[in-house]
Amino acid sequence: MKKYWIVFKKSLKSELIYRWAALWRILGAVLEFLIQIFLWRALLGTEAHNGVSFSDMLLYVLINSFMMQLTHTNVAGMIENAMIDGTVSMELLRPISYKGYLLSQMLGKNIYGSLTATVPVLLLSLFFLSGAVLPDFVHILLFFLSAILGIALLFEVTYLFGLTAFWLQRCWFIRFYLYGFQNIFGGTLVPIWFYPELLKTLSYWLPFRYMTFEPINLFLMKTQLEQAWIPILAAFLWLVGLSIADNLIWRAAARKLTVNGG
């Protein structure tokens, strides 16, 4: 565990250098949030639509963007680069699992950026959240459980998509598929509350909605306590199933790997 903590800290430290970039990222995040505020003001006004209120939407945008930023990573690109310059053979020799290494690196790299981008937006949103109801204690606990599962699931799917880099020589396009599926089936762009029936039904059968959408539903208490076990169990089962799958794919990849020089 200590090894992964070291990777996490190193990766975080290398991000802390870019102070100046952080300032502009904060401005960008604030601007993006303002756009969402104006958009949902124009759409919702002061009324609720399908049981969704303005403050629900703001909390949705906040939680969703924090979770997406925390897991923002291009595993396929990292593997591609490591294969081109040959460092992948070094990475395979490390006394640490490659998946765990990527996970700690991703969290270290993203935690600073997602916190600096979220905190100012959170402060700004306090002005608009006057009518919001905070969840009760049990819902908060369930939210954290489901959010941790969601983050793990997000990473798992990113990693699984990224592993295909071992078979494709160039793979800059993989992230487009990933983003597309996340946006269509995961409600990361538009909450699934507004989806037409067909898409809504489809989304239940894929892992994407359990990443950010179901945790948000728990935070907003839109999921009743009696039903809370369903999305949590589904996320857990997806996580187990995909871990088994990536393990098999990883073994095949390590066997297939040919390194160019290096």
Partner 1 sequence: MKDFWRLFTSFFKVALRREMAYRGTFLAGIIGQWISYGAAFLGLYITVSSFQVLGGWSGPEVLILYGLSLMSYAVGASFFFNFSNGLIGRIRSGEFDASLTKPIHPFLHEVFSAGYNVGYISHFTVSLAIMVLAFASLSYTPTVQSILFLISALLGASLIQAAGLIASSTMSFFSVGNNPIADFLLYDMKEFTNYPITIFPRGIQFVLTFLLPFAFMNFYPAAALLGKPIPEGYPAFLPYLSPLAGALVFTLSILLWNWGLKHYKSTGS
143, 219 in Cβ contact below 8 A?
Answer: yes
Which of 189, 245, 252, 257 lies at the binding interface for partner 1 (CB under 8 A)? 189
Question: Binding to partner 1 by residue 254, rule CB under 8 A?
Answer: no
Q: How far is the CB of 181 from partner 1 (least distance, A)?
A: 7
Burial class (CB in 10 A: 0-12, 13-18, 19+), 155: buried
Burial class (CB in 10 A: 0-12, 13-18, 19+), 134: exposed
Could you give phi then psi for residue 60, rounded to 5 degrees?
-60, -50
Which of 16, 42, 93, 198 lies at the binding interface for partner 1 (CB under 8 A)? 42
Can you tell me the distance from the alpha carbon of 38 to that of 45, in angstroms, rounded to the nearest whole number?
10
User: Which of the ranges 22-30, 85-93, 103-111, 254-262 carries the binding residues for partner 1, by CB under 8 A?
Assistant: 22-30
Question: Binding to partner 1 by residue 14, rule CB under 8 A?
Answer: no
Nearer to partner 1 (CB atom), residue 21 or residue 244: 21
Rg (CA), the chain: 20
Nearer to partner 1 (CB atom), residue 52 or residue 232: 52
Per-residue DSSP letter, 164: G
Query: Which secondary structure element, helix H or strand E, spans residue 163, and what is its range?
Result: helix 137-163
Interface residues for partner 1 in 194-213 (CB under 8 A)? 194-196, 199
Q: How far is the CB of 135 from partner 1 (least distance, A)?
A: 25
Residue carrying structure tokens 């990883």: 250
Q: How far is the CB of 39 from partner 1 (least distance, A)?
A: 6
Q: How many CB atoms lie within 10 A of CB 78?
A: 18
Question: Binding to partner 1 by residue 168, rule CB under 8 A?
Answer: yes
Which of 50, 130, 224, 258 lies at the binding interface for partner 1 (CB under 8 A)? 50
44, 193 in Cβ contact below 8 A?
Answer: no
Which of 4, 128, 179, 236 lies at the binding interface for partner 1 (CB under 8 A)? 179
Specify the 3-state DSSP secondary structure of 99.
Answer: helix
Q: Report the Cα 262 to chain-centroid distance in Å.
A: 32
Question: Binding to partner 1 by residue 173, rule CB under 8 A?
Answer: yes
34, 123 in Cβ contact below 8 A?
Answer: no
Give the largest Cα separation in the chain, rounded.
63
Which of 9, 10, 13, 170 lies at the binding interface for partner 1 (CB under 8 A)? 170
Q: How far is the CB of 44 from partner 1 (least distance, A)?
A: 8
Beta-bridged to residue 49, according to DSSP, are: 52
User: Which of the ranges 16-24, 79-87, 88-96, 108-116 carries the binding residues for partner 1, by CB under 8 A?
Assistant: 16-24
Residue carrying structure tokens 């507004």: 194
Q: How far is the CB of 102 from partner 1 (least distance, A)?
A: 21
Nearer to partner 1 (CB atom), residue 145 or residue 206: 206
Query: Which residues of this chain interact with partner 1, rule CB under 8 A?
Result: 18, 20-21, 23-25, 27-28, 31-32, 35, 38-39, 41-44, 49-50, 168-174, 176-177, 179-181, 183-184, 189-190, 194-196, 199
